[in-house]
Amino acid sequence: MNTMMKNSAFALVLSLGLVAGCSTTGEEPLTDEEMSAVDQDGGASVYGGTDDGGISADELRERDRRQADSAATGDDAALRRITTFYFDFDTAEIKPEARDVLAAHARYLANNPDVNVRLEGHTDERGTKEYNLALGERRANAVQRFLVVNGADRSQIETVSYGEEKPAAMGSGESAWAQNRRVELIFR
């Protein structure tokens, strides 16, 4: 009888451990304070390279910054013209310069509950197909979390990952890769 009780207790503990292990995603929910700090400081630097005809991640960031600066009056409509957000290699961290623009998108979604957006996550060609699909999904989910924390309703947002399947730029150099590591917002 005592052995049967021990076996039952062991089976119960094992079952609870299995359920607890299967029910987690491996990610802790972020607080509002952590969400605003979900970005990393700095950004990508392009190191040398032989593909002189391309564009670097810093140039992409500068172009986006100039577009955002044209909206220095705080005009959300001008900020919302930026719908592509770039990422550093092998990361899903939103860059600091994207915060104001994404916050403008979140306000727009919050003020227009009938509007929906699809977040399309993309990667460069490096890595396996499976890894790139997962990385594209993490990038889209990071943008989704930022939008929700800043006022958008989760039901307005759909995420999809294309991994490396839909490159913005063809090529195998840093300039092409920098353009392909992105999340695009497609409003519907």
Q: Is the CB of residue 159 less than 8 Å from the CB of residue 140?
A: yes
What is the rounded distance in angstroms from the CA atom of residue 45 to the CA atom of residue 50? 15
Q: Where are the domains of the chain?
A: 54-187
Fill in the amino acid letter for 26: G
Is the CATH number 3.30.1330.60 carried by domain 54-187?
yes
Residue 67: CB atoms within 10 A of its CB come to 14
Q: What is the pLDDT along the chain (188 residues), one digit of tens a residue?
A: 566 666 665 565 556 555 555 544 444 444 444 444 443 333 333 333 344 455 555 666 666 655 554 444 357 888 889 999 999 999 999 999 999 999 999 999 999 999 999 999 999 999 999 999 999 999 999 999 999 999 999 999 999 999 999 999 999 899 999 999 999 999 98
Pairing of strands 117-122, 182-187: antiparallel
The pTM of the whole model exceeds 0.85: no
What percent of the chain clears pLDDT 90, i.e. is strictly above it? 56
